[in-house]
Structure 1
Amino acid sequence: MNMYRLFELLNADQVARLRALAHGAAWVDGRISNPTNTGKRNEQIKDGAAREESGTIIAKALGANPTFNDFALPVAVALPLLSRYSPGMGYALHGDNAYLPLGKVTIRNDLACTIFLADPASYDGGALVIHSGDVRASFKLPAGHAILYPANTPHEVEAVTRGERLAAFTFIQSRIADPAHRASVSELGIIARDEREHVSPAVHARLLVVQQNLLREWGDAP
């Protein structure tokens, strides 16, 4: 079962606006949000108007995206944050924290999402590498595309050697904590949606019944 999902999230106008906000924004050392991690070498946008607008653009796009909602089954989504990597910067192999404070509440961190904003030809290095046992999967997606993956998966950002890697990231609490269970439920929903015109109404209804019953079995209480 596929534990991660790639999808197109932002259109050209949204990418252009986010790049403009990044160009005019103030930046801080990325370790401000994880000061004990010496392997984190990047910058993130400073709190303020540009941070709020950029995060809101991406959050609204995620909320309106069927692939994101079908796969993540989100309960809560952290406000997305812009990050950038210049030559020599990278993020060593790490795992994300299990719980994250969001204002007055704390969420369980089930999924991470990286949104690529720079043209991949404009920089060298900077790939997101996800580790699963002996397997290393490398991702360097077109601007406006995103990847969802379990937050408990070890991952890294390879050092940039040319240009600038501009991206955004966020974390999601899902209705289902277990990655394999979540993938099964989301896959059933996607199949039901994609095959609706090719199967009888009764078969379509049965698929949805199975999906919803698994959600009852594995999902968190509202």
Structure 2
Amino acid sequence: MFKLVQLLDESQVHMLREIATSGKFVDGRISNPHSKIKNNLQLHDASAYERSSKILLDAMVQNPDFMEFSFPARIAPPLLTRYTPGMHYGLHPDAAYIPLPDGQLRTDVSCTVFINDPADYDGGALHVKLGGADLRFKEAPGVAIVYPSHTLHEVEPVTRGERLVAITFIQSLIPDVQHRNLMYELNEVAALEGNTMAPDNFTRLQAVQYQLLRMWRR
């Protein structure tokens, strides 16, 4: 259900940090004014948003791990967000749909891309509750965590320094998380073992892959 992806290289991380340094950030509640749990800053500069989103989107569509795990039909333009001491985002699931200029996007998969070094700040982990388990992610610059949007998660309070990340949401070709995970595992097995299989058996495996994609794709 969760995957860490090395999404950005050092130069891309550097460009995003420069954009964040010069860009204008505003209260994150501008996009969710009724929230009582959101306490962060988000980029609010059209030119900077366009440049940073392009860097991130280009990296996503060119990254096989990201594409093969999320099966994206649409990706919301990624948004840079900033947390300074005292800021946090309380426990929540992501909204089922978010408005975009070209229509609503169903949020099947969420993604956080870490931009600055975890040593630069204390606190600020992405905390995900999965049944009775507590998962925490605070990753190196350029690493993305991809996870189902319905899971309860929060950004724990930052107590020192600054947390800089990008967030986005994906509408998947396979909206059901269990179907998506099964399809990912099946595709991984086909990719890893296909060359060693008898050709007839590999053809049968492909037939199963294609038929499941027809059944599950929306």
TM-score by length of 1: 0.95
Which of 173, 184, 191 is equivalent to 2:189?
Answer: 191
Kept in 2, the 8 Å contact 1:71–1:187? The answer is no
How far is 1:154 from its partner? Answer: 0.7
Match of 2:216 in 1: 218
Q: For structure 2, list consecutive stretches of 5 or more residues without a partner in the other structure.
A: none
Partners of 1:49 and 1:134 in 2: how far apart? 43
| Counterpart contact for 1:189–1:208, Cα < 8 Å | no
Residues 130-168 of structure 1: per-residue CA shift (max 9 Å, x gap):
111211111111100001101011100000111110000
Equivalent residue for 1:7? 5
Aligned partners of 1:4 and 1:147 also within 8 Å: yes
Distance 1:204 1:47 in 2: 50
Shift of 1:113: 0.4
Which digits, 9 at most, give the CA deviation of each residue in 1:30-61, with x for residues without a partner? 11111111111100001311111001100010
Where in structure 1 do 4 or more consecutive aligned residues deviate above 6 Å? none
Over the aligned positions, Cα root-mean-square deviation in angstroms equals 1.2
Superposed counterparts of 1:140-151, under 5 Å: 140-151=138-149
Of 133, 136, 150 in structure 2, the residue corresponding to residue 135 of structure 1 is 133
Residues in 2 aligned to 1:140 and 1:37: alpha-carbon distance in whole angstroms = 24
What percent identity do the matched residue pairs reach?
48
Contact 2:113 2:143 in 1 (8 A): yes
After TM superposition, the structure 1 = structure 2 runs for residues 34-53 of structure 1, keeping only pairs within 5 Å, are 34-53=32-51
The reply on whether 1:119 has 2:98 as its aligned counterpart is no
CA contact (8 A) 1:6 1:145 kept: yes
Aligned to 1:33: 31
Cα distance, 1:201 vs. partner? 3.5
Q: CA deviation at 1:212?
A: 1.6
Pair 194,36 (structure 1): closer, same or farther in 2 beyond 3 Å: same
| Unpaired runs of at least 5, structure 1 | none
Amino acid at match of 2:91: L
Question: 1:66 maps to which residue?
Answer: 64
Q: How does 1:36-115 map to 2 (within 5 A)?
A: 36-115=34-113
Distance 1:204 1:13 in 2: 40
8 Å contact from structure 1 (residues 77, 171) kept in 2: yes
CA distance in 2, matches of 1:141, 1:219: 32
Separation in structure 2 between the aligned mates of residue 204 and residue 62 of structure 1, nearest angstrom: 29
Q: How many residues align?
A: 218
